[in-house]
Amino acid sequence: MKQPNALDCAHQLGLPVLYTFRRCPYAMRARLAIVASGVKVEVRELVLRAKPAHMLEISPKGTVPVLWLPDGTVIDESLDVMHWAVGQNFPADWLALNAEQQQQCDQWIALLDGEFKRNLDRYKYPHRYHVKTEAETYTCDPLEHRAACEKILAQWNAVLEQQAQQQGQQQGSYLFGSQPSFADYAILPFVRQFRIADQAWFDTAPGYDALKNWLGIFLDSSLLEQAMVKYSPWQPGDMPLTFPG
């Protein structure tokens, strides 16, 4: 077998290197911002059970996404990668948030990355989580965690409904109006995951029309299509690939 050497992992295209995993919602939000900003990176797809040694060397916490800039800077939090991308070239069709909207955006993202994600994981993979009481230990109840996610989704549904009413239209509403923003693309990959956990239930659940409309537009978007292009897992020495391609 060919042994990797440092050069096999180096920046070969003069572009930032993005370690990513296609299905990860954190990596997805980073890729959405990269595509929307029109910046190019060298992409290194991976599988979570076999993370490249080089990625672990530059970011020992071992989560994706990881962006490695040509000057050696490592950005290994998805929101920071988003901020980096839009800081390079702010997407023409995104709403630039004012201070008040930014505060709201940060609050929603904290709710999403905290309470929503915690409950989403337990809804999707109940067998991985156990509830311990003094008397017994049992697997958590996925429906309890789905209900906790729903409470949060209902808030966003109400915001989206209000935006649609203000614009006098049903189609194309985002969290801050008729234009998408950082908040929408930071949140939508996780709402997509929530739907996938039980698609038949989600698609027929009453009371989420505005949210479903918002998600539906995202799912049909060319932005998502470009962000979800498939790459084979990278190995040191592979020919470098650019993203978007």
d(CA 138, CA 131): 5
Name which of 62 and 216 has its Cβ closer to ligand GSH: 62
Q: Report the nearest approach of ligand GSH to the CB of residue 228 (Å).
A: 14
Name which of 63 and 104 has its Cβ closer to ligand GSH: 63
- Asked if 195 and 213 count as a contact pair (C-beta separation under 8 A), the reply is no
Name which of 78 and 163 has its Cβ closer to ligand GSH: 78
Q: Report the nearest approach of ligand GSH to the CB of residue 102 (Å).
A: 18
Q: Report the nearest approach of ligand GSH to the CB of residue 158 (Å).
A: 26
- Mark out the alpha helices in 125-181 (DSSP H runs): 142-167
Q: Report the nearest approach of ligand GSH to the CB of residue 193 (Å).
A: 9
One DSSP character per residue, 53-100 reads: HHHHHH-TT--S-EEE-TTS-EE-SHHHHHHHHHHHS--TTSPPP-HH
Q: Report the nearest approach of ligand GSH to the CB of residue 65 (Å).
A: 6
d(CA 19, CA 27): 9
DSSP 8-class letter at 135: S
Query: Which residue number is nearest to ligand GSH in terms of Cβ?
Result: 24
Name which of 48 and 147 has its Cβ closer to ligand GSH: 48
Name which of 113 and 213 has its Cβ closer to ligand GSH: 113
Q: Report the nearest approach of ligand GSH to the CB of residue 46 (Å).
A: 9
Among 92, 10, 73, 37, residue whose Cα is nearest residue 227: 37
Tell me phi and psi for residue 80, to 5 degrees: -70, -35
Residues that bind ligand GSH (CB under 6 A): 21, 24, 26, 48, 62-65, 77-78
Q: 3-state class of 41 per DSSP?
A: strand
Name which of 31 and 212 has its Cβ closer to ligand GSH: 31
- Asked if 94 and 36 count as a contact pair (C-beta separation under 8 A), the reply is yes
